[in-house]
Amino acid sequence: MQDIEPYWKWRDFYTAEEDEKSPFFGREYSEFQYTEKIYNYYIHPQWDFFGSETLYLKLIYCDYKKNAAVIEFIGEWNDCIANDIMFLKRDFIDVLIDNGINKFILIGENILEFFGAGNDYYEEWYEDIKDDGGYIIAINLREHIMEEMYQSNIHQYININKTYNDINWRKYKPFHFINYIDDLLIKLIA
C-alpha cells in the first residue's frame, strides 16, 4: 500500500495545501517519511488524514467556479466501527460545502472494503447540496464495494452505477473531467 500514491498529474492545476479554503491548507508533506498506517500497512505520505484510522483521502482538485471537488480515497470505509462518514462529513465535506462546493466526485478504486451503518450523514450531505444542483457520484468502485453500498441504501444519496466503474478519468484535464461527469449525469436524468 505504501506504493499507491494519490494521483499527482493534476498538481499543476490544484494543490489542497495551497488552497486557503481547503481543510488541508498549509499542510506539509514528505516524499520519504512514511508515518500513516492503515492497520499495519504504511501508506504513501501524500494521503490526507481526516479523522478515520482506516480511510484516507486526497483532494486532488477543487474548482470553486464549477462548485466541484474530485476526491480520491484509499483504505477501508468503515461506518460500523469507525463512523468514517461522520468524520468525512463533519471535518471535510462541510468545509467544502461552506465554500460553495456542491458537486462531489469520489474516486473509489483504492477503497478495499466498505461497511455501512445507517444513512443519516449521507442523507444530510445530499440534502445540503441537492437544491443547488449538486450531486455526489462514486466512480471506479470495486464490484463488492458497490454491492455493499447498495445493500446499505447509500445509492439513494450517492450516484452509484456499474456504468461509472470503468471511467478512465486520468486521461482528462480536471476541468474537462468535471464537464464529462456533469454531462454523464445530465444524460442519465434525461
Whichever domain contains 116, its CATH number is 3.30.750.24
Average pLDDT over residues 127-155: 95
Number of separate domains in the chain? 1
Q: Is residue 61 part of a domain?
A: yes
β-partners of residue 48 are 57
Q: What is the pLDDT confidence band of residue 1, given thresholds at 50, 70 and 90?
A: low
Whether 65 maps to a domain, the answer reads yes
The model's pLDDT over 71-105, given as tens digits with 9 standing for 90+, comes to: 999 999 999 988 999 999 999 999 999 999 999 99
What does the DSSP assignment read for 68-85? EEEEEEEEEEETTTS-HH
User: What's the whole-model pTM score?
Assistant: 0.95
Under DSSP, the state recorded for 107 is E
Residue 54: the pLDDT is 94
Segments forming the whole domain that contains residue 30: 16-189
Is position 1 within any domain?
no
